[in-house]
Amino acid sequence: IQITFGRYVRQGRKLGVDPKLFIQDLQFNKVPVRVYQPKATSDGRRRGIIFFHGGGWVFGSLDTYEKVCRYISRESESVVVSVQYRLAPEHKYPAAYEDCLNATIHFMKNIELYGVDPANVIVCGDSAGGNLAAAVSQTLAGRSDLPKLRAQILIYPGLQALDFNLPSYHQNRGVPLLFRERAAFFALQYLNGDALHMQEVLEGSHIPPDMRLKYRKWVSPDNIPEKFKVRGVKPLRPTDFIAEVYETVKRFCEPNLCPLLAEDAIVHQLPESFILTCEYDVLRDDGLLYKKRLEDNGVRVTWYHLEDGFHGIISLYDYCGFSFPAGKRGLDSVVNFLKSL
């Protein structure tokens, strides 16, 4: 009931025609998409952006992100493809990831139909969509049969489910729009279609000690710059590992679900990256940790930090008359990055 109501509240109003854009609903490899194309004539082929919306893998639709996608398409003069991937809990992992991957591959293989330059395709997403963009980007990095992605844009992405006790989880645990408990709730809905064992996952007893040690080099407060710890750090109390909980969530260690855990050999091949983080966001440190991993592997990263931003602020751009200046700044930072490519 909670999820059904949440979807109803978020469904977004139907917008009128946009004088500057040609918009059509299509299917890419059976996945519903909405394609936004600038009407103005172009000197050459345009850049193409594949957009995966946020909403915890549970919420969100093409309509919810209509204003954001129109804005990006208009302002950056790009073709934008917004992907309606299947949602949890009805469709568990890897359904959303597979839909995003299949829609992206379809677009790349039929790119001339949309007047897009095959060397200038970008994946982009916010929150859960940032997770999906990172996963798709990693999968395509190893493909020799398709053009290389030009860039990936990750807007406050959620990238790991090993540690819900990083400094940003502690500091922002009660900050809207994403509470600490909800982050674990969404990850479990996506993985298993239910939120059983949420408490154990929050406490960290779902990961075996040897595995925690293995991933410490990537998932650790030690890799987060000191200035992000001044608002307080709560060291993780060693909790007892519970094997039967691990059995139900062990796929959290798959990079397609938690891209922060990909091996260096994959991260090394990733395209130029843009990462946006917000100070008041439980997922802030996921973005900071991935930024470090990318830079350590020689990938060029543009990082934009909204000091006054909170999780979900981009999706509130011009939402029912609301608008936050920080959200507009964040969106414009994305547009400026796109124009620089």
Q: Which residues are catalytic?
A: 127, 281, 311
Classify residue 294 by its DSSP letter: H
Burial of 257 (0-12, 13-18, 19+ CB in 10 A): buried
Widest pairwise Cα distance in the chain: 62
| Sign of the dihedral through C-alpha 228, 234, 239, 244 | negative
H-state helical runs in 156-306? 167-171, 180-192, 198-203, 209-215, 243-249, 264-267, 284-296
In 10 A of CB 105, how many CB atoms? 18
Whole-angstrom CA distances from 113 to 37, 50, 81 are 11, 15, 13
CA distance 167 to 180: 11
